[in-house]
Amino acid sequence: MSEAYLPGARIGVMGGGQLGRMFAMAARRMGYRVEVFTPEENSPAGQFADLTRIAEYTNEAAVRRFAQDVDVITFEFENVPAETVGWCAKSRDVRPAGAILHIAQNRLREKDFLAGAGLPIAPYRAVRNAYELADAIEQIGRPAILKTAAFGYDGKGQQTINTRDDFDEIWNASSADELVLEASVDFVAELSVIVARGADGATKTFPVCENIHRNHILDLTVVPARIDAEVEHAAAALACAIAERLELVGLLAVELFLKPDGELLVNELAPRTHNSGHWTIEGCATSQFEQHVRAVCGLPLGSTEILRPSAMANILGDAWQNGEPDWSKALHTEGVHLHLYGKQEPRPRRKMGHLTAVGATAEEVIARVTKARADLYPEAK
């Protein structure tokens, strides 16, 4: 369907996290009503929604009532059950489509899709028992990374295999019944491209993001990425090709490895707004959240022109280890902006908010956001 949903329409959001929160802010500013479906009381997204439906995703009756009450539905994270999205799609447009969510929910399906489309990825093998693990190691070599096929993010469910040969023990230690073994990639940079595709097939990419991870969690993003123009163009082209192949309506984040020889490998896909795109709120003509609203509602896509170099640094729950942080310390640094997600319980490794900085150069904004977080969060130095 290519129907447009104009301001005043009701957008349903599956999921109550911080991505839904920032989406709701953008949508309400544009004149939309937002209804959130989540099992969580007082969710980050629910704090900015017009209405929150609190129920489990497996509650078919509640899901169907939610779908009937809105005009179009999107989701803010991947782990909404495919069956739930299917119930919604019986009566409403779901953008991006449930078939895309189904692919992105499982690393093996995602790798198979990318390989089948002829897109560049690291060698991988499916692993369903200790024998297959041994065989996969023999084919791929070491080091290799063993990952759960489903429900893995921020490094969860991953381990690197260098010299171990105790495959029975490795397999038995996993709680999953399906794993993926991937060749370890020698890369010089981790990049991401967020691409928007409208219901009319129009596409726009945001500037390539350069991402720095710490302990498997995105720590800092800087734009413009410190890469050659040829790499920038190639990364954008890859993202557009994937969006076209998926027949995407909405946003898609494409995570990439840049190898020393300039080759790009696709690492992961996220059919939603993305942590590495938070800088767009202050640094881009159209934020990723407004762009997502535009795409799922059938409006013309906004300009993705970068206004100023920007950097984003995540704030994790570790910052609360000595009590409530002194937010004024971070805001003493010129050009820095604070975003908190309204989560009630700070926990180690939990994303509680982020800082962004704008300035004249990539180096300047990295220095600014790093200093601001260090003042707030000394262990991040």
Q: Contact at 8 Å (CB) between 276 and 312? A: yes
pLDDT at 354: 98
Is the pLDDT assigned to residue 115 strictly greater than 70? Answer: yes
Contact 352, 317 (CB under 8 A): yes
- Rounded to an integer, the average pLDDT of 199-214 is 97
- Name the residue ranges covered by the structural domains of the chain: 10-94, 123-183, 189-380
Yes or no: say if 218 and 314 are a contact pair by the CB < 8 Å rule.
yes
pLDDT on residue 1: 45
Tell me: pLDDT of 174 over 90: no
Residue range 123-183 forms a domain whose CATH class is alpha beta
pLDDT bracket for residue 322 (50, 70, 90): confident
Under 8 Å between Cβ of 222 and 307: no
Query: For 189-380, which CATH superfamily applies?
Result: ATP-grasp fold, B domain (3.30.470.20)
The tokens describing 291, both together, are 């762009």
Label residue 114 by pLDDT band (50, 70, 90). Answer: very high
Report the pLDDT value the prediction gives residue 2, as an integer from 0 to 100. 66
Nearest alpha carbon to residue 12 among 46, 60, 61: 46
Q: Which two tokens stand for residue 237?
A: 């082209």
Fold category of 10-94 in CATH: Rossmann fold (3.40.50)
Is residue 146 within 8 A of residue 158, CB to CB? The reply is yes
Confidence of residue 381 (pLDDT cuts 50, 70, 90): very low
For the chain, give the percent of residues with pLDDT over 90. Answer: 85
Q: How far is it, in rounded angstroms, from Cα 112 to Cα 103?
A: 9
Q: At what angle do helices 82-89 and 60-69 cross, to 10 degrees?
A: 40
Amino acid at position 378, single letter: P
Per residue in 120-143, pLDDT tens? 999 999 999 988 989 999 999 999
Task: List C-alpha distances in Å: 36 to 106, 218, 307.
Answer: 24, 26, 31
pLDDT at 156: 58
Query: Which of 112, 18, 312 shows the shortest CA–CA distance to 192?
Result: 312
* Whether pLDDT at 183 is above 80: yes
pLDDT at site 9: 98
What local confidence, expressed as pLDDT, does residue 172 receive?
A: 78
Segment 328-347, tens digit of pLDDT: 999 999 999 999 999 999 99
Predicted confidence (pLDDT) at residue 151 exceeds the cutoff of 70: no
